[in-house]
A and B are shown apart, each in its own frame.
Chain A
Amino acid sequence: MRKILLGTTAAVGAALLAPMAAEAQEAPTVRVGGYFRAYYGYTQQNATSPTNVTMNQNPGDNGAVSSTGNIPGSARLGHGDFSTDAEVHVFVNGKTANGLTYGAVIEIEFDSSEGTVRSDARRAFSKKTGANIDEMYAFIASPTLGQIRFGDEDGPFGGLMNVGWVSNFGTGGAYGDFESFIVRPNRTGTTPGSVGDNTKIIYLSPQFFGLDFGFSYAANEAEGEDTGCLNSYASLNCDRAYAVTNIQSNGRSHDQPGRYNELQWAVRWRGSVAGVGLAVGANGMFSQVVRDISPSGDIRRNLRNPEVYQVGAQATYMGFTVGGGYMWGNTSFYYIPSVRGDKRMSMFFGGASYNAGPLTIGANFYSGQYAGTDAWNTSNYNADGTRAPDTVNSPRGQRRWAYSVGATYRLAPGLDLIAEYIRQEMKEPSANATPRAFSAAAPGVDRVKASVFLTGVRLAF
Chain B
Amino acid sequence: MKPFLLAACAALPLLAACGENTRGVQNDEYGDWRGSAPRQRSGGQTAGLVIFGVDKEREAREAAAAGGASGLAVNAYLWRATLDTLSFMPLASADPFGGTIITDWYAPPGAQNERFRAQAYVMGRQLRSDGIRVQVFRQVNDRGQWIDSPVSQATNSEFEDKVLARARELRSQSAQR
Show the binding face of A for B, using Cβ within 8 Å: 1, 4-5, 7-8, 11-12, 15, 26-35, 87, 89, 91, 93, 134-135, 139, 141-147, 154, 159-162, 165, 167-168, 171-172, 175-176, 191-194, 203-210, 212-213, 215, 408, 413-414, 416, 458, 460-461
For the complex, is B147 an interface residue (Cβ under 8 Å from A)? no
> How far apart are A159's CB and chain B's nearest CB, in angstroms?
5
> How far apart are A358's CB and chain B's nearest CB, in angstroms?
12
Complex CA gap A203/B16 in Å reads 12
- Check if B42 sits within 8 Å of A31, measured CB to CB: no
Of chain A, the residue at the smallest CB distance from B40 is A35
- Check if A207 sits within 8 Å of B23, measured CB to CB: yes
> How far apart are A141's CB and chain B's nearest CB, in angstroms?
7
Complex CA gap A183/B124 in Å reads 58
Residues of B within 8 A of A33 (CB): 41, 43, 47-49
- Check if B33 sits within 8 Å of A192, measured CB to CB: yes
Knowing A4-B9, A144-B24 are in contact, say whether A460-B53 is a contact too (CB < 8 A). no
Complex CA gap A176/B22 in Å reads 34
Show the binding face of B for A, using Cβ within 8 Å: 2, 5-6, 9-10, 12-17, 19, 21-25, 27, 30-36, 38-43, 45, 47-56
- Check if A4 sits within 8 Å of B5, measured CB to CB: yes
Residues of A within 8 A of B43 (CB): 33, 413-414, 460-461
Residues of A within 8 A of B40 (CB): 34-35, 87, 458, 460
Residues of A within 8 A of B32 (CB): 135, 154, 159-160, 193
- Check if A205 sits within 8 Å of B2, measured CB to CB: no
- Check if A205 sits within 8 Å of B56, measured CB to CB: no
- Check if A208 sits within 8 Å of B16, measured CB to CB: yes
> How far apart are A351's CB and chain B's nearest CB, in angstroms?
10
- Check if B13 sits within 8 Å of A145, measured CB to CB: yes
- Check if A89 sits within 8 Å of B30, measured CB to CB: no
Number of A-B contacts (CB under 8 A): 171
Knowing A4-B6, A8-B10, A414-B43 are in contact, say whether A29-B52 is a contact too (CB < 8 A). yes
Residues of B within 8 A of A207 (CB): 22-25
Residues of A within 8 A of B22 (CB): 144, 206-208
23 pairs across A/B with beta carbons < 8 Å? A1-B2, A4-B9, A31-B47, A32-B48, A89-B41, A91-B47, A144-B17, A144-B24, A160-B31, A192-B34, A192-B35, A193-B32, A193-B33, A204-B25, A206-B16, A206-B22, A206-B23, A207-B22, A212-B16, A416-B39, A460-B41, A460-B42, A461-B47
Residues of A within 8 A of B9 (CB): 4-5, 7-8, 215
Complex CA gap A1/B4 in Å reads 12
- Check if A159 sits within 8 Å of B31, measured CB to CB: yes
Residues of B within 8 A of A191 (CB): 34
> How far apart are A455's CB and chain B's nearest CB, in angstroms?
15
Residues of A within 8 A of B5 (CB): 1, 4
Knowing A8-B9, A91-B48 are in contact, say whether A28-B53 is a contact too (CB < 8 A). yes
- Check if B31 sits within 8 Å of A192, measured CB to CB: yes
Among A1, A159, A213, A461, which residue has its beta carbon within 8 angstroms of that of B12?
A213
Among A29, A145, A408, which residue has its beta carbon within 8 angstroms of that of B56?
A29
- Check if B12 sits within 8 Å of A205, measured CB to CB: yes
Beyond the given A142-B24, A154-B32, A168-B35, please list 18 additional residue pairs across the A-B interface where CB-CB is below 8 A.
Answer: A5-B9, A8-B10, A26-B56, A28-B52, A28-B53, A31-B48, A32-B49, A91-B48, A144-B22, A145-B13, A147-B24, A193-B36, A206-B24, A207-B24, A208-B22, A215-B9, A414-B43, A458-B39
- Check if A32 sits within 8 Å of B30, measured CB to CB: no
Residues of B within 8 A of A416 (CB): 39
Looking at B34, B36, B45, which has the most chain A CB atoms within 10 Å of its CB?
A: B34
- Check if B42 sits within 8 Å of A413, measured CB to CB: yes
Looking at A5, A31, A204, which has the most chain B CB atoms within 10 Å of its CB?
A: A31
> How far apart are A227's CB and chain B's nearest CB, in angstroms?
26
> How far apart are A461's CB and chain B's nearest CB, in angstroms?
7
> How far apart are A274's CB and chain B's nearest CB, in angstroms?
19
Question: Which 8 pairs across A and B sit closest by C-beta, in order of nearness?
Answer: A33-B48, A143-B24, A29-B53, A193-B33, A30-B52, A8-B9, A31-B48, A33-B47
Among B6, B10, B17, B39, which residue has its beta carbon within 8 angstroms of that of A145?
B17
Of chain A, the residue at the smallest CB distance from B34 is A175
Of chain A, the residue at the smallest CB distance from B33 is A193
Complex CA gap A192/B45 in Å reads 21
> How far apart are B75's CB and chain A's nearest CB, in angstroms?
20
Residues of B within 8 A of A143 (CB): 23-24
Residues of B within 8 A of A28 (CB): 52-53
Looking at B5, B13, B49, B55, which has the most chain A CB atoms within 10 Å of its CB?
A: B13
Of chain B, the residue at the smallest CB distance from A162 is B31
Knowing A15-B13, A29-B56, A176-B34 are in contact, say whether A209-B21 is a contact too (CB < 8 A). yes
Complex CA gap A39/B56 in Å reads 35
Among A15, A171, A192, A208, which residue has its beta carbon within 8 angstroms of that of B21?
A208
Of chain A, the residue at the smallest CB distance from B6 is A4
Residues of A within 8 A of B55 (CB): 29
- Check if B41 sits within 8 Å of A30, measured CB to CB: no
Residues of B within 8 A of A141 (CB): 24, 27
> How far apart are A261's CB and chain B's nearest CB, in angstroms?
13
- Check if A29 sits within 8 Å of B31, measured CB to CB: no
Looking at A12, A30, A171, A206, which has the most chain B CB atoms within 10 Å of its CB?
A: A206
Of chain B, the residue at the smallest CB distance from A163 is B31
